[in-house]
Structure 1
Amino acid sequence: MSMSISLPLRLHVAGRSASAPTRSASGTTKVSGPAEKKTRNLRHLVFPVLAVGAVFQAIMQTVMVPLLPSMPGFTGAGTTAVSWLVTSTLLVGAVMTPIFGRLADMIGKKRMLLIAFSLMTLGSLICALTSDIGLLIVARGLQGAGAAVLPIGMAILREVLPREHVERSIAMLSSTLGIGTAVGIPFAAAIVQFADWHLLFWTTAAIGAGVALAAWIVIPESDTRTGGRFDAVGAAGLSAALVCLLVPITQGSTWGWTSPAVLLSFAASVLLFVLWGVQQLRNRNPLVDLRVSARRSVLAPHLSALLVGFAFYGNTLITTQLLQAPSGHGAGYDLTILQAAACQLAASFAMMIFAIVASRITERFGPKITIMTGAVFLLAGYSVHAVPGKPLWLVVAAIFVAAIGTSLVYCTLPVLLLGAVPLSQNAAANGVNVLLRTVGSTVCSAVVASVLAAHTLGGGLGIGTAGFVIAYLVCAGCAVVVFVSGFALPSKQALRPVEN
């Protein structure tokens, strides 16, 4: 028997002009009244605000990467403790994304969006005020809640914009994940190289406060909300299963992949996922509707999200280390942090340009063709990456080509879900999709760390060429699987927007 707690739906009343919520046959509540009228003339600003917010949360995920080598000196903590400054963000993001997505569908998308922005801003403020490693890890965990911004933002766009503008806007919003990731590294590197590292988080705190204020003014209240009860047991079960899965993945290279702690954690995650799945299938108001998720039109985009999350993060993580690695005995280009980060701007340009191209390909040929084309670009980019001893300009070209593939896929996945799930489950479905992207990136981080560590040369001479080649070929293999899985995606004719 599943336990649950009630979350009341808010009734907006304001004098005679207010109107009560109406409930459809599917159990969805539609809310209208003065709040909707006040924001109607600001709806042209909804997409810009959400886009800035999505870029901001993506920056939060990568902003610590250039600082990691220096953080032991800044905090007095060991390398293992410092690694949690990235792990805590990814872990909290993975756990909170499906939970926030479900709550957004239930109690209001604007409300949960503001909570996410507030937690991110609070995390930045704490980071700006302290050098204590414990407080920094907690603060970085708070910033992980920002991962929910993207799926909630997509659900808001589907609800607010005219139908003819929804697909293109959602596709462009999805691309901001890559843009923010590519911008975050040079942004952080520039500040750290020329100023105190705390200034980085004072800056992000100011940005977060500004984005939260803009969202409060511009974003309208949700017109559509689901009823029912929040599945607290399902949320706790999913959180525990994800923790048992992701912690050993991120710490496996430190603890040892065959250590009892890692093996027991993986075993516990399998057991917890099985129990959670049974509980979800028996619950009338599940956190994740597994029956919907099992449909081919939903399952295939989720698989693509997992694999592309892996491949996309490899383009950033592997290449950043390659560019900064010493040349000579090992593979590397001897670039500074800022120079290496500047090379990643090629990914930002590709994501911005091809977000629009992706939507046009989808409109003409359907999302299936767009995703398979993206997989071809990913494969081409990683094939160039895997060539040893290439000139620097070719590395930048490979970054650009792989980012094109990422943009084409990332921008199309939400469009597939748009035609596969009802409006009342949109935020939750996109939350699961973003969760799987995060899991893919986390697995990539662990795999890359293990491969490169296995090919580290003695005497601090750097990393052998074979290590980078193998890491890139693993990402290329993911691209091949994405291409093959594309055959299972629905055709353009099969896609129809799903209503409640």
Structure 2
Amino acid sequence: MSARSLGGLGGIVAVLAVVEFTSGILQGYYTPMLTDIARHLSITDADVNWLEGSQLMFSALVVPTLAKLGDLVGHKRILLVSTAITGLASFALAMTDSFPVFLVAWALQGAYAVWLPLEIALIWSRASVQDGVVEPARITRRAAGTLVAALETGAIAGALLGGALVDVLPLGTVLALPAITVTLCFVAIGIGVREAPVRAADTFDTVGVVLVSLALVGFTGGLSLLRLQGPTAPLPWLVVVAGLALLVPFARWELRQASPLIDVRMFRDPALWPVFLTAGLFGVSVLGAQAPLSTFARTDPATVGYGLGTAGFTTSLLIGAYVLSLAVGAMLLPLATRFVAPRIALFGACLLVAGGYLLLVPFHDTYGQVLTCMVVAGIGSGALVAALPAAAAAAAPPEQTGVATGLTNSVKTVGGAIASCVFGLALLHGAGGTAVGTATTAGTLTGYYTVWIVCGGTALVAATCLLFVPKHAFTDPAAPAALPTV
């Protein structure tokens, strides 16, 4: 993609692509070794979902706040802060074999979830005020595709490297490498990214932060209690309901603010609410199903009758092929939107995700079957990862681009957190025991069926939601008939 096609923003996009490459490494590197991490921490495969769920919960809490701060004080500044948090947490992972400490560090590492929303908001802000740029939505979509392609390339590199190293090096050494890449990423941001114009009012909604944090802590805390006490216990459900109930005073408070943390009116916008709902449903598969994919691949069929029985590196090839398909989907998005409206492209992407996961129900016995299904789902997922924040930026008010793009990630992580809880319960239910180091550490086949069906079903619901988007949503206004060459 040329700098001209990005309206002169090619240099900044190139640096941000390095950031997303680092994000991809973080997202792909650990996945092939989750079973090794589980044994290192003396936990079962089902308990791996604790790691995934804790990080998603933290991301859901921190992304709205950091995204709003990006609009207030500058997207680059908050990008640096979140990178510093991620780097420190990454170093902590390599220094402990305590599950509680590892769990906290893994959660804090989730600060990287705000990187892509901040980057897209930064690009949108610069494109919309730069001389000669008449199609900021198109430029933002193209930049988003480039960033997501870099992310998925990093995920491929991370998965292959992690899978290869975990077979030959001590786990502590293997876990230290991502921290080094995040440190280099911090330096790249500081040197190579210029700050975007700050458009939002110079106020911060502290009360809103407290209310939404309490709501999310209550909701996600209740989900955690479900995993501890089971779905028949009343206390977890009471905590979940209490968390959801706190959203009512939060919404009322936000409606009265001149500069709210989250403009809840955006959830009534006909072009935005389907994007947010789609992002939440999409989070079920793109975030909640990755740990089950890895543990299913590592499960030995000779012992329990299902799984692929792959080693670390062979698992990384499966993960690598999946994330490569995400990169393909992200790069195909700008091409697809030349021929169909963006909302139709999103609709088709949801159908691919649904088809890939639902095909796993009958076709999961061989490596080739699982690989094919994941590639189909991955192409659709890659398009959605690129399209959703770009669509939100295009449809949101100019002073709320950071919040809108951040909300796509927030609701996506909430969807992933819910899925992580459900999938953890499903994989644990019916297991013959919990002794680490025995066959009973594997998840149940019925649980894996649940994962695939839920992922496919939520993708179909997301596709249905996109039918309600206005026909011309996420597109630029028609340009004047004659424009000077820039």
Q: Please classify the TM superposition score into its range, dividing by the shorter chain length.
A: 0.7 to 0.9
Q: Secondary structure at the match of 2:272?
A: helix
Is residue 388 of structure 2 the alignment partner of residue 406 of structure 1?
A: no
The answer on whether the counterparts of 1:388 and 1:469 sit within 8 Å (CA) in structure 2 is no
- Tell me which amino acid in the other structure corresponds to 1:316: Q
* Cα shift readout 1:126-167 (whole Å, capped 9, x = no counterpart): 333444545434433332211111110101111234435322
Is residue 311 of structure 2 the alignment partner of residue 331 of structure 1?
A: no
**Deviation larger for 278-287 or 130-139:** 130-139
Aligned residues: 458
Q: 1:408-447 counterparts in 2 under 5 A?
A: 408-447=383-422
Is residue 217 of structure 2 the alignment partner of residue 243 of structure 1?
A: yes
Shift in Å, 1:61: 4.9
The answer on whether the counterparts of 2:275 and 2:392 sit within 8 Å (CA) in structure 1 is yes
**Deviation larger for 377-386 or 299-308:** 377-386
Q: 1:110-259 counterparts in 2 under 5 A?
A: 110-161=76-127, 162=133, 163=136, 165-174=139-148, 184-259=158-233
The answer on whether the counterparts of 1:155 and 1:427 sit within 8 Å (CA) in structure 2 is yes
Decide which of 290, 306, 325 is 1:350's aligned counterpart.
325
* Cα shift readout 1:417-458 (whole Å, capped 9, x = no counterpart): 132112221111111110111112222222222222235467
Q: Secondary structure at the match of 1:283?
A: coil
Distance 2:443 2:240 in 1: 29
- Tell me which amino acid in the other structure corresponds to 2:120: M
Distance 2:141 2:359 in 1: 32
Distance 1:46 1:463 in 2: 44
Is residue 466 of structure 2 the alignment partner of residue 486 of structure 1?
A: yes
Distance 1:345 1:80 in 2: 23
- The 1:209/1:497 distance shift into structure 2, 3 A limit, reads farther
Q: 1:93-108 counterparts in 2 under 5 A?
A: 93-108=59-74
- Tell me which amino acid in the other structure corresponds to 1:387: P
Shift in Å, 1:478: 1.0
Distance 2:231 2:28 in 1: 25
- In structure 1, the partner of 2:5 is none
Aligned-CA RMSD value: 2.9
- Tell me which amino acid in the other structure corresponds to 2:450: I
- Tell me which amino acid in the other structure corresponds to 2:315: A
Q: Gapped runs of 5+ residues in structure 1?
A: 1-41
Q: Secondary structure at the match of 1:221?
A: coil
Distance 1:91 1:474 in 2: 20
- The 1:221/1:465 distance shift into structure 2, 3 A limit, reads closer
* Cα shift readout 1:224-282 (whole Å, capped 9, x = no counterpart): 33113100111111111111112332452232123244123202212211121111112
- In structure 2, the partner of 1:372 is 347
Q: 1:35-74 counterparts in 2 under 5 A?
A: 44-61=10-27, 63-71=29-37, 74=40
Q: Secondary structure at the match of 2:309?
A: coil
Shift in Å, 1:401: 0.4
Decide which of 476, 491, 500 is 2:456's aligned counterpart.
476
- Tell me which amino acid in the other structure corresponds to 1:363: R
* Cα shift readout 1:174-224 (whole Å, capped 9, x = no counterpart): 455555556544443333322122323432222111111111111112223
- Tell me which amino acid in the other structure corresponds to 2:461: V
- Tell me which amino acid in the other structure corresponds to 1:257: P
Decide which of 345, 358, 366 is 1:383's aligned counterpart.
358
**Deviation larger for 171-180 or 380-389:** 171-180
Is residue 372 of structure 2 the alignment partner of residue 397 of structure 1?
A: yes
Q: Secondary structure at the match of 1:303?
A: helix
The answer on whether the counterparts of 1:354 and 1:408 sit within 8 Å (CA) in structure 2 is yes
Name which structure has the greater RCO, CA cutoff 8 Å, separation 6+.
2
Is residue 244 of structure 2 the alignment partner of residue 270 of structure 1?
A: yes
- Tell me which amino acid in the other structure corresponds to 2:346: I
Distance 1:194 1:261 in 2: 45
- The 1:226/1:100 distance shift into structure 2, 3 A limit, reads same
Distance 1:183 1:99 in 2: 31
- In structure 2, the partner of 1:13 is none
- The 1:198/1:45 distance shift into structure 2, 3 A limit, reads farther
Distance 1:493 1:291 in 2: 17
**Deviation larger for 302-311 or 345-354:** 345-354
- Tell me which amino acid in the other structure corresponds to 2:65: I
The answer on whether the counterparts of 2:145 and 2:334 sit within 8 Å (CA) in structure 1 is yes
- Tell me which amino acid in the other structure corresponds to 2:207: V
The answer on whether the counterparts of 1:183 and 1:348 sit within 8 Å (CA) in structure 2 is no
**Deviation larger for 409-418 or 123-132:** 123-132
**Deviation larger for 308-317 or 437-446:** 308-317
- Tell me which amino acid in the other structure corresponds to 1:392: Y
- Tell me which amino acid in the other structure corresponds to 2:337: T
Distance 1:412 1:343 in 2: 24
Q: TM (normalized to structure 2)?
A: 0.85
